[in-house]
C-alpha cells in the first residue's frame, strides 16, 4: 500500500503539484480504508525521503 502512495506522490510531482502532508494523509487514509495519524505521515515521509518531495 505504501508503494501505491509513493507512486501517487511521484505522479503529482511530475505534474508539478507538490503534495502537502494533508494530501498524503488523506490519500493514505483512502488506501488503508481507515484514518492515519499525523505521526504515521511523519514516519512514512522519513521512510521514503529519497523518493518523495513534499510542499
pLDDT in tens, 3-45: 999 999 999 999 999 899 999 999 999 999 999 999 999 999 9
Count of structural domains, the chain: 1
Domain assignment present for 52? no
User: According to the model, what pLDDT value does residue 11 have?
Assistant: 93
Domain assignment present for 54? no
Domain of residue 21 covers 2-47
**Size of the chain, expressed as the number of residues it contains:** 55
Domain assignment present for 21? yes
* Band of residue 52 on the pLDDT scale cut at 50, 70, 90: confident
Domain assignment present for 37? yes
User: According to the model, what pLDDT value does residue 39 have?
Assistant: 98
Decide if pLDDT at 50 tops 90.
no
Radius of gyration from C-alpha coordinates of the chain = 10
Higher pLDDT, 52 or 32: 32
Domain assignment present for 40? yes
Decide: 13 and 55 in contact? Cβ < 8 Å.
no
Amino acid at each position: 500500500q505504501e508503494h501505491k502512495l509513493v507512486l501517487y506522490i511521484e505522479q503529482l510531482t511530475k505534474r508539478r503539484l507538490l503534495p502537502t502532508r494533508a494530501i498524503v494523509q488523506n490519500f493514505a487514509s483512502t488506501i488503508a480504508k481507515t484514518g492515519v495519524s499525523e505521526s504515521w505521515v511523519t514516519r512514512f515521509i522519513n521512510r521514503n525521503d529519497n523518493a518523495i518531495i513534499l510542499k
